[in-house]
Amino acid sequence: MIRPSVRFAGTAVLAALSLCLVQASAQTQVPAAPAQTPVAPVPTTAPVFPKPDPKNFTAPLPTVETVNAFLTASWGYDAERIWQVQAIFKTPVEGISKVVVFVGDKSGKQKPSALEFFALPDGKHIITGDQIVAFGANPFADFRAKMQQQANGPYRGAASKDLELVEFADFECPHCKEAQANMDKLAVDFPKARIVFENYPLAAVHPEAVAAANYGVCVANLGGSSAFFQFASAVFEGQEGLSTPDGTTLTLNSAVTKAGLVPAKVAACADVAASVQLAQDLGINQVPTLLINGRQVPANAPYDVIKKIVEYQAKLDGVTL
């Protein structure tokens, strides 16, 4: 039997790298399989998965083709990863199917895993662990459309939204500060990308982040995107000053001045409610989060991984870099 506690490590596998959480989420065990499931082999070289047993395909949907298209969209950027759909079971709940996938790597260095998730009746979502994740041959399309319509924060790079990288960040979050090096590299390596900054202050853990976000919105309104990114860079650089209300005021006023604006005109001229609501609508529960044409990855993940995903997603979406 495939162990019922195995968690799906699919589209959200990189999310574990983000450490500034809105709240801690418990590890939820996957319910036991509704029928016998095969055991993944342990190869000494590149794994050769056993031929799937037709008896393990008792649900009409999703099809093997749809699951493979979903996994290709999710994992295709990693040329070393291989997989095989091993079972699609009916469950006691009408319309909900359990999918089992064997996953390994071409080098055979990693032990293959048996990964499981539940496909929902709408054909557009799966349950993996304690998360509901977009599913289908083009799982990021809805989020991409939402970003193109509603991600209206300051941006750098191209005016076109064909390749849109939207960062949700909190000025008081140290991991967001670290992620700025990645964002700067993306701006250099992908000059045709539109790189958008959306404020997502986590007030429960970063009480001064809301004030910083408000200042940022005002700077963008008064000085445009160029002034905003100068302001943001100064705030992240002086992040230690956001530890007290007085320190926050000094830090933010200094950053405003560096952006070429007058602090008195900037203070408390706007709020970030729309940006926060957008993040919540997308189900974002951690910062820094980067959406690459709707695909969520941690903005502080290793840069070579992010770059690879940007290139792959652009290819999927027919964008010429």
Contacts of 209 (CB under 8 A, 6+ apart): 170, 171, 172, 173, 201, 202, 203, 242
* The one-letter amino acid at 155: Y
**Per-residue burial over 248-284, b = 16 or more CB atoms within 10 Å of its CB, e = otherwise:** bbebbbbbbebbebebeebeeebebeebbebbeebeb
What is the average pLDDT across 220-233?
A: 97
The pLDDT of 212-237, averaged and rounded, is 97
Which is more confident, 77 or 32?
A: 77
* pLDDT for the residue numbered 41: 60
Backbone angles phi, psi at 8, to 5 degrees: -70, 130
Estimate to the nearest angstrom the gap between the alpha carbon of 201 and the chain centroid: 17
Task: Decide which of 143 and 33 is more confident.
Answer: 143
**CA distances for 298 relative to 21, 114, 134, 169, angstroms:** 12, 24, 17, 10
The CA-atom distances, in angstroms, between 218 and each of 165, 177, 211, 284 are 22, 20, 11, 24
Residue 187 has pLDDT above 70, yes or no: yes
Q: At what angle do helices 209-237 and 245-258 cross, to 10 degrees?
A: 60
Percent of the chain past pLDDT 70, that is, above it, reads 86
Helix, coil or strand: residue 208: coil
Fold annotation for 142-316? Glutaredoxin (3.40.30)
pLDDT over 50 at 25, yes or no: no
Identify the CA nearest to 178 among candidates 96, 239, 264, 88.
239
pLDDT class for 67, splitting at 50, 70, 90?
very high
pTM of the model: 0.84
Six-digit token string for 289: 């989060």
Structural domain boundaries in the chain: 13-137, 142-316
**pLDDT at position 176, please?**
98
